[in-house]
Amino acid sequence: MYRTATGEEVFVVDCHSHFWDASPENQANKYGRGWIDCFYAYHKNLSPAEYVWDLTHYEKYSADDMVHDQFVKGYVDLAILQPTYLIDFYKNGFNTIEQNSVMKKAYPDRYILNGAFDPRDGEKGLDYLRRQKGEWNIQGVKLYTAEWRGSSKGYKLSDPESYRFLEECLKLGIKNIHVHKGPTIYPLNRDAFDVADVDDAASMFTDLNFIVEHAGLPRIEDFCWIATQESNVYAGLAVVLPFIHSRPRYFADVMANLLFWIGPDKILFGSDYAIWEPKWLVEQFMAFEMPEDLKAEYHAELTMEDKRKIMGLNAARLYNINPEEQMAKVRNDALSQQARQLYAA
């Protein structure tokens, strides 16, 4: 929970976090090395100096480190674990639901565990999706449409195979579809600039929510257009928000556009932990004021109420969380007590 200068409580849901293992022992090939090096560059480039980790720690951190950074230091009340499989790059996967489930098991009131699917897996994949529902009762999935699989360099959300999986999600009550449409951490041209497949899928499956992670950053103008058209398309702020520190004007520009095109009810906070720590992101976002010229041009105030929605209320709505109940659940757990000690000192 974040507390404003005037003592008001702000409910914080970190919609995007990972418990990964990129240690050299788990790297399967040069792609595994290249993947974590690239993540590390994002981390080092955009974090304030005092929040830059060393590479070894970044490759593999402990469960204790993670809950400390999110819930003790980082003001987070509830976090969503998003898996990233990468089984071609890492021997045991990079950050699978099985790996993430360790966190959920240890801190059941603090985490929401999301699953994943890949339509190229066919029947086997559908079975795996059902198994994830059965075992962990998942409410959401994280998809990487550009993930390499053998000779295939990706798929589209609008492919007939994808529709089969989305229909299954609908049937199973998995309502939140997080799609990585962000910087091209995966190579080839399919993902490089196209968010059109989200548009098609979102208009076909109006009872599912499509959360476009990183707001489609490399093609944010296309994304804004789609999100304006489709009422079930949301923007995840991971990667966008860290600019608030080093390039506040660019961040302001993007926020003004998002507020103008898609509005404050459809933007979700996420740290992308461990790429960035939530502490400084939350502090800087809560302190952020929209520059006057952008307020005037985009009618984008970014009021306290908007900030509350973005920080947690929007995610609570998508995941059927009652913020009051959630706060009551965690207010006196061990992590909250540590947080009070830390911030009282």
Partner 1 sequence: MPHSDVSLTEQRTQQGAVTENQVYTAIADVLDPELDESLVKLGFIDSVQIDGADVTIIFKLPTFWCAPNFAYLMASDLKKQVHTLPGVRQVRVVLLDHCADEEVTNGVNQNRSFAEIFPEESTEDPYLEDLRRTFLRKGFLMRQDALIRALLKAGLDEPQIAALRLRDMQIDERANQVLINVNGNVLSLDNVVQSASKYLQRRSALALSMLPDDALIIDDQGVPLQAGHLKEFLRRSRSIRMNIMFNTSLCKGLFQTRYGTQTAQTPVEEGEML
State the nearest-atom distance from the C-beta of 240 to partner 1, in Å.
8
Residue 42, Cβ neighbours under 10 Å: how many? 16
Does the footprint of partner 1 cover residue 217 (CB under 8 A)? yes
* Interface with partner 1 in residues 72-131 (CB under 8 A): none
Does the footprint of partner 1 cover residue 343 (CB under 8 A)? no
Closer CB to partner 1, residue 46 or residue 339?
A: 46
Tell which one of 190, 245, 295, 329 touches partner 1 (CB under 8 A).
Answer: 190
* Interface with partner 1 in residues 167-186 (CB under 8 A): 183-186
Closer CB to partner 1, residue 77 or residue 272?
A: 272
Does the footprint of partner 1 cover residue 219 (CB under 8 A)? yes
Q: Which stretch binds partner 1 (CB under 8 A): 117-125, 245-253, 302-310, 329-337?
A: 245-253
Residue with token string 């660019």: 250
Residues 6+ apart with CB under 8 A from 94: 20, 21, 22, 32, 35, 84, 85, 86
How many residues touch partner 1 under the rule CB under 8 A: the total is: 40
Closer CB to partner 1, residue 14 or residue 191?
A: 191
Report the length, in residues, of the chain.
Answer: 345
Does the footprint of partner 1 cover residue 257 (CB under 8 A)? yes
Rounded Cα distance between 255 and 234, Å, is: 13
Q: Residue 159 corresponds to which amino acid?
A: D
State the nearest-atom distance from the C-beta of 231 to partner 1, in Å.
20
Identify the H or E element spanning 235. Answer: strand 233-236
Helices (H) and strands (E) in the chain, counts: 17, 10
Query: Of 308, 330, 318, 273, which is closest to residue 3 (Cα–Cα)?
Result: 308
Does the footprint of partner 1 cover residue 152 (CB under 8 A)? yes
Rounded Cα distance between 61 and 274, Å, is: 9
Q: Which stretch binds partner 1 (CB under 8 A): 77-85, 99-107, 189-197, 200-208?
A: 189-197
Does the footprint of partner 1 cover residue 45 (CB under 8 A)? yes
Tell which one of 129, 254, 275, 339 touches partner 1 (CB under 8 A).
Answer: 254
Q: Which stretch binds partner 1 (CB under 8 A): 20-28, 103-111, 257-265, 269-277?
A: 257-265
Tell which one of 91, 105, 247, 317 touches partner 1 (CB under 8 A).
Answer: 247
Q: Is the peptide bond before 192 cis (omega within 30 degrees of 0)?
A: no
Where are the alpha helices (H) located in the chain, listed in sequence order?
A: 30-46, 55-59, 63-67, 97-106, 122-136, 160-172, 189-193, 196-204, 220-229, 243-246, 248-261, 278-287, 292-298, 304-308, 314-318, 323-330, 334-344
Closer CB to partner 1, residue 250 or residue 343?
A: 250
Closer CB to partner 1, residue 76 or residue 294?
A: 294
Does the footprint of partner 1 cover residue 224 (CB under 8 A)? yes
Residues 6+ apart with CB under 8 A from 237: 215, 267, 268, 269, 270, 310
Strand partners, 113: 81
Does the footprint of partner 1 cover residue 55 (CB under 8 A)? no
Residues 6+ apart with CB under 8 A from 172: 129, 130, 133
Q: Give residues in contact with partner 1 (CB under 8 A).
A: 31, 34-35, 37-38, 41-42, 44-46, 151-153, 183-193, 217-221, 224, 243, 246-247, 249-250, 253-254, 257, 260-261
